[in-house]
Amino acid sequence: MTKTAAIIGGGVIGGGWAARFLLNGWDVRVFDPDPEAARKIDAVLANARHALPMLYDVALPAEGHLTFHTTLSETVMGADWIQESVPERLDLKHKVFQALQEHCDAGAIIGSSTSGFKPSELQDGAARPEQIVVTHPFNPVYLLPLIELVTTEKNPPALITRAKDILTSLGHFPLHVRREIDAHIADRFLEAVWREALWLVKDGIATTEEIDNAIRYGFGLRWGQMGLFETYRIAGGEAGMKHFIDQFGPCLSWPWTKLMDVPELTDELAQMIADQSDAQSGHLSIRELERKRDNNLVAMLRALRQQGNAAGRLINQHQQTIKTTLTDGPPITSARRVIPADWTDYNGHMNEGRFGQLFSDAADAVMTLVGADTAYIAGGLSYFTVENTISFLAEAHAGEHIRVETRVTQGEGKKLRCFHEMKRESDGALLATSDQFMLHVDLKSRKSCDPRADVLARVVALAKKHKEA
Ligand SMILES: NC(=O)C1=CN([C@@H]2O[C@H](COP(=O)(O)OP(=O)(O)OC[C@H]3O[C@@H](n4cnc5c(N)ncnc54)[C@H](O)[C@@H]3O)[C@@H](O)[C@H]2O)C=CC1
Ligand SMILES: C[N+](C)(C)CC(=O)CC(=O)[O-]
């Protein structure tokens, strides 16, 4: 049964949560008194629909239904997950929890997006404190995996486990913060870095752009794949972490940083920062900046997927849980996906090599269907493509949803031949075809041989069925 999420507060963060749930097949109800809320969520959704599917090599589940509601009761009634993302004011959050707990199921999980409040502060005075946890996301919520799940001893272990499972099923990485603390874990770092940056601007040491350059050309790249401690472990050389601490630890008490001291945010300082930021990025609208950020994030995350590391490993694991059903056809829908931005080239369209990749993925699906799957290959038998004729019929672009339809045109002995048609989902346009001829091989001798009897029987039956249809 389709699950339902209730989004309370549909601003920057609520919109991101709505997109994450919707694109993973949940129905989403939104409550936000702002008359502009639907328009704002639409804009976030447009970004999410462009970016999130590009992360995966398979199609995401069918989108859920999005509805807007004028009462809190209608929004939360029967919802499985309620995500509060109203402005960062404790009195407002208390008011919202009080009102929604009058109508929501006692078994529903209530997550708060709060950047800084501790869960015990949120639970204070609630009718059912055990339902309320902090689920602190990172912007853009639809792309960044981290959710800081902060709990108290009032939250039953079963609820915490369920919360982790649901977040994981959405492609998130739930980091369980077991001991609550103001601003959780990540925002404490972000604040420290931000404080230091404000000093550097105020003291005229660096502009906003120079500070951003110091991050994006250097340690920002390191942090994205190894974090802080693993990076510093390497920086200690062969002697490792202990040597690193001995060498650089004393610097922490030298006057390298202003540490806890916060510059007064006078109008003058705020204006200086705003002016520098305008000079740096004012030529792009917020939507253009978001699109640029999202495309960069997708490309970086896909690179991490290829290495099977950090957030990339998580996305690989999430993809395994997305169900794709292969049927005999004809035709077999052998691939369905979105074209990622990093598959396009200097001509502004999908590069020819990626057409080959897609047809190769389609052939893999046919192999799985006949039983020549990963276990079969690990056992030493497989198929090799020996001939492939591709016709390029129309351009394909980043963000387009496409599918490959395959007919098995020959299946006898060692021979397996497929005719693939790549189509655009939106209008059914035929983008390319591939006539692919494969031979069954023994991976040890690297010579052609007959398939295992059961695989051969399926290949023969499939070819017969497709010929007769
Ligand atoms: N913006 C960010 O980078 C991040 C924000 N957060 C947290 O997310 C929460 C929301 O922040 P943003 O989305 O940035 O704020 P926002 O100002 O963009 O959105 C807040 C939304 O809540 C709505 N709202 C106000 N009162 C409401 C009520 N009684 N019921 C329902 N909706 C109501 C507003 O109309 C607005 O659309 C805050 O707790 C914040 O700390 C967490 C992570 C990152
Ligand atoms: C600025 N902020 C404290 C609201 C930031 C966050 O909470 C997380 C983020 O997305 O950077």
CATH number, domain with residue 239: 1.10.1040.10
Which three-class secondary structure state does DSSP give residue 73? helix
18 lines ligand 1 (CB under 6 A): no
Q: Does residue 387 lie in a domain region?
A: yes
- The answer to whether residue 258 scores a pLDDT higher than 60 is no
Q: What's the pLDDT score for residue 256?
A: 59
> Does residue 133 sit in the same domain as residue 246?
no
Q: What's the pLDDT score for residue 340?
A: 93
185 lines ligand 2 (CB under 6 A): no
Identify which of 331, 358, 333 has the alpha carbon closest to the alpha carbon of residue 343: 358
User: Given the DSSP bridges, would you call strands 430-442 and 447-448 parallel, antiparallel or unpaired?
Assistant: antiparallel
Q: What's the pLDDT score for residue 240?
A: 74
Domain boundary among 124, 156, 177: 177
10 is annotated as contributing to ligand binding: yes
- The answer to whether residue 427 scores a pLDDT higher than 80 is yes
CA-to-CA dists, residue 9 to 75, 90, 114, 308, 464, angstroms = 11, 14, 12, 35, 56
Q: Strand locations in 242-353, DSSP E?
A: 332-338
What is the rounded CA–CA span in Å between residue 330 and residue 310? 39
Predicted interface score ipTM higher than 0.90:
yes
Q: What's the pLDDT score for residue 254?
A: 66
> Does residue 211 sit in the same domain as residue 109?
no
User: Which of the listed residues 7, 12, 122 should we mutate to test ligand 1's pocket, taking the one with most ligand atoms within 8 A of CB?
Assistant: 12
Q: What is the CATH number of the domain that holds 166?
A: 3.40.50.720
> Does residue 169 sit in the same domain as residue 33?
yes
> Does residue 226 sit in the same domain as residue 371?
no
Which three-class secondary structure state does DSSP give residue 452? coil
User: Which of the listed residues 31, 96, 97, 113 should we mutate to test ligand 1's pocket, taking the one with most ligand atoms within 8 A of CB?
Assistant: 113
User: Which of the listed residues 114, 136, 138, 144 should we mutate to test ligand 2's pocket, taking the one with most ligand atoms within 8 A of CB?
Assistant: 138
**Is the Cα torsion angle 93, 21, 176, 75 positive or negative in sign?**
positive
379 is annotated as contributing to ligand binding: no
User: Given the DSSP bridges, would you call strands 401-412 and 332-338 parallel, antiparallel or unpaired?
Assistant: antiparallel
Identify which of 307, 294, 337 has the alpha carbon closest to the alpha carbon of residue 46: 294
For residue 109, the surrounding DSSP H or E stretch is: strand 109-112
Q: What is the mean pLDDT of residues 358-362?
A: 96
- The answer to whether residue 332 scores a pLDDT higher than 90 is yes
> Does residue 192 sit in the same domain as residue 145?
no
* Residue 230 DSSP symbol: H
Q: Is 414 exposed, middle or buried (0-12, 13-18, 19+ CB in 10 A)?
A: middle
Number of compact structural domains in the chain: 3
- The answer to whether residue 140 scores a pLDDT higher than 60 is yes
> Does residue 173 sit in the same domain as residue 205?
no
Q: Return the minimum-mean-pLDDT range out of 30-44, 287-301, 379-393.
A: 287-301
Which three-class secondary structure state does DSSP give residue 173? strand
**Atom of ligand 1 lying closest to residue 34 CA:** 35
Domain containing residue 117: 4-177
**Is the Cα torsion angle 76, 82, 85, 87 positive or negative in sign?**
positive
Diameter over CA atoms, the chain: 81
Q: Does residue 274 lie in a domain region?
A: yes
Q: Strand locations in 127-205, DSSP E?
A: 132-136, 146-150, 173-177
Q: What is the pLDDT of residues 161-204, one digit of tens each?
A: 999 999 999 999 999 999 999 999 999 889 889 988 998 999 99
Report the mean per-residue pLDDT for the chain: 93
CA of 183 to the centre of ligand 2 (A): 9
Q: What does the DSSP assignment read for 197-215?
A: HHHHHHTTS--HHHHHHHI
- Contact between 335 and 358 under an 8 Å Cβ cutoff? The reply is yes
What are φ and ψ of residue 181, in 5° steps? Answer: -155, 150
> Does residue 247 sit in the same domain as residue 160?
no
What is the rounded CA–CA span in Å between residue 333 and residue 22? 24
- Contact between 451 and 440 under an 8 Å Cβ cutoff? The reply is yes
Q: What's the pLDDT score for residue 259?
A: 56
- The answer to whether residue 369 scores a pLDDT higher than 60 is yes
Q: Does residue 304 lie in a domain region?
A: no
Q: Whose CA is nearest to atom 11 of ligand 2?
A: 138
Q: Does residue 243 lie in a domain region?
A: yes
**Is the Cα torsion angle 233, 236, 237, 241 positive or negative in sign?**
negative
Q: Does residue 307 lie in a domain region?
A: no
Task: Give me the helices (H) in 86-202, please.
Answer: 90-101, 119-123, 157-169, 186-202
Q: What is the pLDDT of residues 299-313, one digit of tens each?
A: 999 999 999 998 999
> Does residue 275 sit in the same domain as residue 358?
no
Give the closest ligand to the alpha carbon of residue 113: 1
Q: What is the CATH number of the domain that holds 373?
A: 3.10.129.10
- The answer to whether residue 39 scores a pLDDT higher than 90 is yes
> Does residue 193 sit in the same domain as residue 154?
no
* Residue 344 DSSP symbol: B
Q: What's the pLDDT score for residue 257?
A: 59
Q: What is the mean pLDDT of residues 414-420?
A: 98
Residues in the chain: 469
